[in-house]
């Protein structure tokens, strides 16, 4: 099928294009990007006044299905993604059941083929049930279709287990994604620790709970020369640690989410539960560090960490 | 608010208060069992002056107190934050006394009704009498004054402004028109 | 100065004039409690509901007495015995109370921000009687009224607050109120009980009680709340008393007429000795009396603010 997209503002960062142009697709592939294409096609899309860009890849989303369809489903999540120009998502494994074996991955694949509106890639869990005790069989997971492994929602507390995971993932060519949080330091906190948590009377989460775990994960990855990807960076220390590791040649990449460069903990002063996140919103200085990290390339990607909850779950005390 | 006319000047105010003091003593046949309670704020100043006059005339000290009627107003629901509560100070027993309530202007009578309510929480006087510097008419309740400094007929869009040395640096009574 | 707020959620949100207005109004209300007939009709026909999710005797009774002296009707709801046990949410409970056409909800809750949340959801007045670690505004107001009566103006006073600052709503409210009225506040506690960033509230920090008492005109002794944070490390009781307890020996080294305050209930022998609690410097019982006056003022003002 041939398609001509005419007159839109074509933004293609990889090829350094930002201009009004036409795009010709032949047999499902882009064959020409130029001004004033006149080829006749079966389908014609008038893109005047619109932006035409490559689909966004969001590498950190929680689709909640299977298990918590009350929060979100593959269908509703991918519909929302499509309307935002996101054409591929990487789904995190903290579903019920968790993506810790081939059966569960196949279950998800069935749901995806039935109801997904866009491409859904699967991230499998590192440990059985994401409990941080037993390592999953990465070979089986990769064969079933997983592209990455993570216990996201939690970190793997055991150094031994994490080391084994990094080694196994590297062997199977799976990307290890780390949710870095030392729960013994974050301690049931609900917002960034500091003057604002004190004045609001809320239990605080230290930045150390994040960056110390990042240090550990990088150290272990360095040890076995495995690649590691750090999820949702929220504070300046984390950016610094990743930058230093990159300089040393460690195979580390990382991502941040839009809220960490748009909002700070001051957004919580009226106890708005919609802004309660993990990691939490931090201080203005952290926001600047994140922005700088994006600018200078320390942070490799922006991922939404789309993590929906039901209204009832949010409409209660902080 | 625009001042229309001065009805009483300093001397007129003083003479009125002196006369009222005499009338109170006359009506009560002396100062036995007499007490004065001024309604905040200006009523309190007038009550003090009355007490001073009585002291001069009869050489007797009449117990004097101050009453804040804010909490007894019948319009609290629509006062919207404008109601300022001040202290009530009646540190003597009012039971069985001839109590003279003192206020600056008698208008609708609602302030006096509130004052009567408030006093009933303090005790049971033998009688309650009312002394006012100005009576401007337009009663909305069946209330009347026993002692009046001056009767000033007014229109509804007018107001009577009483100024006293203790709070306003000068003694005078003015009529003003609301804009 | 007009009062225009329908709620009282915390002293952080008030300016100096508003705090002074409450204190002045409370002063005037004190007289009502000295009469033979301790009642004024100001809130006649209004209904106040005490919605208490945490156990309390003194605060709840204090609000009840205050409301009744204003001629309001009072209903008490204790969460343990209500539909809350059936899982009813805070907002649902609040909306039900509003549907009964109550005028004021007085809420005590274990979650910080609960009063803020309720005030946003309801049209009726909400008075915070203590939410989690956040604020307990009427306690701080009665503390300040007591200080004012004993020591004159609050401006320039040196006040030391000692105890579990990290988990104390009384401390936070007092800090906001006292600093807004120009007092110098020092918080004193073992390091683990000093919360992050508290210096930004304009206070001095001390870990040594003798040093903190040296120039103090008043010391506000907080209760060691062993029940409020099961996850934190707490100093052992006797150890705490030795290091931070307010005893006669300690007071002897401080200013002669130093005022000793405590929000109650007192843990005798843990944060304060019986001798001091019952001694001349203690104004603990006057605080309770002032609590009624302050709460009458607050209930009166918020009902005005709503109109």
What's the ipTM?
0.88
The CATH number linked to A252 is: 3.20.20.140
pLDDT over 60 (residue A108):
yes
**What is the count of structural domains for chain B?**
1
Q: Inter-chain contact C112–A316, Cβ cutoff 8 Å?
A: no
Identify the domain containing residue B21 by its residue range.
13-74+84-156
Task: Please report whether residue B173 resides in a domain.
Answer: no
Q: C2 contacts in B (CB within 8 Å)?
A: 80-82
CB A96 within 8 A of CB A68: yes
Query: Between C113, C169, C231, which is nearest A317 by CB?
Result: C113
Average per-residue pLDDT in chain B? 94
Tens digits of per-residue pLDDT, A39-49?
888 899 999 99
Same domain (yes/no): A24, A93: no
CA–centroid distance for C266 within its chain:
14
Beta partners for C108? Answer: C52
pLDDT for the residue C226: 63
Q: pTM of the full predicted structure?
A: 0.88
Percent of chain A with pLDDT over 90: 93
Identify the domain containing residue A9 by its residue range.
3-52
Nearest to A217 by CA among A253, A186, A188, A173: A253
Task: Please report whether residue B167 resides in a domain.
Answer: no
pLDDT for the residue C305: 86
Same domain (yes/no): A11, A153: no
B80 — pLDDT class (breaks 50, 70, 90): low
Same domain (yes/no): A100, A173: yes
Q: Subunits with at least 3 CB pairs below 8 A relative to chain B?
A: C
**What is the count of structural domains for chain A?**
2
Q: C173 contacts in A (CB within 8 Å)?
A: none
- Strands B98-106 and B127-135, by their bridges, are parallel
Q: Inter-chain contact C114–A317, Cβ cutoff 8 Å?
A: yes
Q: Inter-chain contact C112–A200, Cβ cutoff 8 Å?
A: yes
pLDDT over 70 (residue A307):
yes
* CB-based contact, B75 to chain C, within 8 Å: no
Q: C39 contacts in B (CB within 8 Å)?
A: 121
Chain C 170-189, CB below 8 Å of chain A: which residues?
172
The first and second tokens of residue A217, run together, are: 């994960």
Same domain (yes/no): A168, A309: yes
CB atoms within 10 A of CB A96: 11
Query: Between B71, B77, B80, which is nearest C40 by CB?
Result: B71
Chain A 35-94, CB below 8 Å of chain C: which residues?
none
Q: C133 contacts in A (CB within 8 Å)?
A: 201-202
CB C165 within 8 A of CB C158: no
DSSP A76-100: HHHHHHHHTTEEEEEE-S-SSS-S-
Same domain (yes/no): A135, A10: no
Shortest Cα distance from A198 to chain C (angstroms)?
6
pLDDT over 60 (residue B127):
yes
Same domain (yes/no): A203, A270: yes
Domains of chain C from N-terminus onward: 11-136+290-306 (3.40.50.1370), 137-287 (3.40.50.1370)
Q: Inter-chain contact C304–B83, Cβ cutoff 8 Å?
A: yes
Q: How far is B42 from A56, CA to CA, in rounded Å?
A: 76
The CATH number linked to A47 is: 2.30.40.10
The CATH number linked to B137 is: 3.40.50.2020
pLDDT for the residue C231: 55
Same domain (yes/no): A40, A188: no
Same domain (yes/no): A146, A42: no
Average per-residue pLDDT in chain A? 95
Task: Please report whether residue B170 resides in a domain.
Answer: no
Q: Which of C117, C135, C137 to mutate to test the interface with A (most CBs of A within 10 A)?
A: C117
DSSP C8-32: B--GGG--HHHHHHHHHHHHHHHGG
CB A234 within 8 A of CB A211: no
Tens digits of per-residue pLDDT, B17-62?
999 999 999 999 999 999 999 999 999 999 999 999 999 999 999 9
Question: Which backbone phi and psi does A255 adopt, to 5 degrees?
Answer: -135, 160
- The count of C-alpha atoms lying within 13 angstroms of the C-alpha of C134, restricted to the half-sphere facing its C-beta, is 28
pLDDT for the residue C233: 61
Q: Subunits with at least 3 CB pairs below 8 A relative to chain A?
A: C
A187 or A221: which carries more pLDDT confidence? Answer: A221
Task: Please report whether residue B37 resides in a domain.
Answer: yes
Nearest to A183 by CA among A214, A159, A210: A210
pLDDT for the residue B172: 95
A311: exposed, middle or buried (Cβ count in 10 Å: 0-12, 13-18, 19+): exposed
Q: C297 contacts in B (CB within 8 Å)?
A: 85
Q: B68 contacts in C (CB within 8 Å)?
A: 28
* pLDDT < 50 positions in chain C: none
Catalytic site residue A151?
no
Same domain (yes/no): A122, A262: yes
B76 — pLDDT class (breaks 50, 70, 90): confident
Same domain (yes/no): A64, A203: yes
Task: Please report whether residue B112 resides in a domain.
Answer: yes
Mean pLDDT value across residues B154-176? 94
Chain A 154-213, CB below 8 Å of chain C: which residues?
187-188, 193-202, 204
Using alpha carbons, list the distances in angstroms from residue C241 to A115, C195, C208, C211, C256.
65, 20, 13, 16, 22
Scanning chain C, the segments in alpha helix (DSSP H) are 16-30, 58-69, 90-99, 114-121, 137-151, 169-180, 209-213, 237-244, 248-252, 274-277, 284-306
Query: Between A187, A196, A201, which is nearest C172 by CB?
Result: A201
Question: Which backbone phi and psi does B158 adopt, to 5 degrees?
Answer: -105, 165
Shortest Cα distance from C183 to chain A (angstroms)?
19
- How many beta-carbon contacts under 8 Å exist across A and C? 64
């Amino acid at each position: 099928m041939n398609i001509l997209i005419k007159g839109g503002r074509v933004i293609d960062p990889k090829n350094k294009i930002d201009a009004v142009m036409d795009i010709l697709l032949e047999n499902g592939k882009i064959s020409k990007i130029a001004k004033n294409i006149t080829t006749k096609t079966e389908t014609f899309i008038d893109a005047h006044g619109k932006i035409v860009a490559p689909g966004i890849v969001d590498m950190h989303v929680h689709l909640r299905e299977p298990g918590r369809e009350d929060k979100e489903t593959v269908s509703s999540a991918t519909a929302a993604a499509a309307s935002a120009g996101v054409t591929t998502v990487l789904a995190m494994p903290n579903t019920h059941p968790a993506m810790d074996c081939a059966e569960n991955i196949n279950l998800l694949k069935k749901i995806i083929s039935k109801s997904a509106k866009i491409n859904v890639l699967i991230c499998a869990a590192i440990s059985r049930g994401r409990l941080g005790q037993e390592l999953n069989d990465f070979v089986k997971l990769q064969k079933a279709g997983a592209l990455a492994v993570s216990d996201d929602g939690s970190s793997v507390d055991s150094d031994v287990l994490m080391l084994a995971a990094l080694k196994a993932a590297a062997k199977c060519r799976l990307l290890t994604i780390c949710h870095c949080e030392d729960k013994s330091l974050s301690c049931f906190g609900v917002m960034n620790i500091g003057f604002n948590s004190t004045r609001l009377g809320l239990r605080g989460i230290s930045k150390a709970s994040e960056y110390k775990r990042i240090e550990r994960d990088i150290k272990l990855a360095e040890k076995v020369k495995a690649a590691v990807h750090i999820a949702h960076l929220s504070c300046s220390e984390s950016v610094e640690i990743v930058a230093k590791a990159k300089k040393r040649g460690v195979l580390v990449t990382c991502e941040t989410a839009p809220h960490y460069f748009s909002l700070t903990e001051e957004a919580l002063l009226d106890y708005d539960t919609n802004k309660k996140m993990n990691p939490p919103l931090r201080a203005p200085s952290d926001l600047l560090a994140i922005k700088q990290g994006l600018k200078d390339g320390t942070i490799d990607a922006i991922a939404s960490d789309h993590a929906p909850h039901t209204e009832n779950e949010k409409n209660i005390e902080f | 608010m625009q001042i229309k006319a001065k009805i009483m000047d300093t001397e007129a105010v003083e003479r009125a208060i002196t006369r009222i003091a005499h009338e109170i003593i006359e009506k009560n046949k002396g100062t036995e069992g007499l007490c004065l309670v001024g309604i905040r704020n200006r009523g309190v100043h007038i009550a003090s002056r009355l007490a001073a006059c009585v002291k001069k005339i009869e050489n007797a000290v009449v117990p004097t107190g101050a009453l804040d009627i804010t909490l007894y107003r019948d319009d609290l629901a629509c006062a919207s934050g404008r109601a300022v509560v001040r202290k009530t100070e009646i540190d003597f027993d009012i039971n069985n006394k001839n109590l003279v309530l003192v206020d600056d202007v008698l208008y609708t009578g609602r302030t006096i009704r509130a004052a009567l309510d408030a006093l009933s929480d303090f005790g049971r006087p033998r009688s309650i009498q009312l002394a006012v510097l100005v009576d401007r008419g337009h009663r909305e309740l069946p209330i009347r004054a026993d002692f009046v400094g001056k009767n000033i007929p007014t229109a509804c869009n007018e107001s009577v402004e009483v100024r006293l040395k203790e709070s306003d640096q000068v003694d005078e009574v003015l009529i003003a028109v609301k804009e | 100065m007009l009062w225009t707020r329908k709620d009282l959620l915390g002293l952080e949100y008030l300016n100096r004039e508003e705090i002074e207005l409450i204190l002045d109004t409370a002063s005037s209300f004190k007289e009502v409690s000295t009469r033979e007939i301790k009642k004024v009709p100001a809130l006649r026909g209004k209904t106040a509901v005490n919605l208490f999710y945490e156990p309390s005797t003194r605060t709840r009774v204090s609000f009840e007495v205050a409301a009744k002296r204003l001629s309001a009707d009072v209903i008490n709801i204790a969460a343990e015995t209500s539909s809350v046990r059936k899982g009813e949410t805070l907002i649902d409970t609040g909306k039900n109370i509003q549907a009964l056409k109550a005028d004021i909800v007085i809420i005590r809750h274990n979650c910080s921000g609960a009063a803020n949340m309720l005030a946003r959801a309801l049209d009726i007045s909400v008075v915070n009687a203590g939410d989690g670690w956040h604020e307990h505004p009427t306690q701080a107001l009665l503390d300040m009224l007591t200080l004012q009566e004993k020591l004159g103006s609050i401006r320039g006073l040196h006040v030391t607050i000692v105890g579990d600052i990290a988990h104390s709503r009384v401390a936070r409210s007092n800090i906001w109120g006292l600093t807004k009225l120009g007092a110098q506040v020092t918080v004193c506690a073992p390091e683990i009980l000093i919360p992050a960033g508290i210096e930004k509230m304009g206070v001095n920090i001390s870990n040594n009680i003798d040093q903190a008492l040296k120039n103090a005109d008043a010391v506000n002794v907080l209760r060691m709340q062993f029940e409020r944070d099961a996850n934190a490390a707490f100093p052992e009781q006797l150890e705490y008393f030795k290091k931070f307890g307010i005893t006669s020996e300690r007071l002897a080294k401080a200013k002669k007429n130093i005022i000793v305050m405590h929000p109650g209930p007192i843990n005798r022998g843990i944060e304060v000795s019986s001798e001091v609690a019952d001694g001349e410097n203690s104004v603990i019982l006057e605080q309770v009396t002032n609590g009624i006056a302050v709460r009458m003022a607050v209930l009166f003002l918020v009902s005005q603010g709503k109109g």
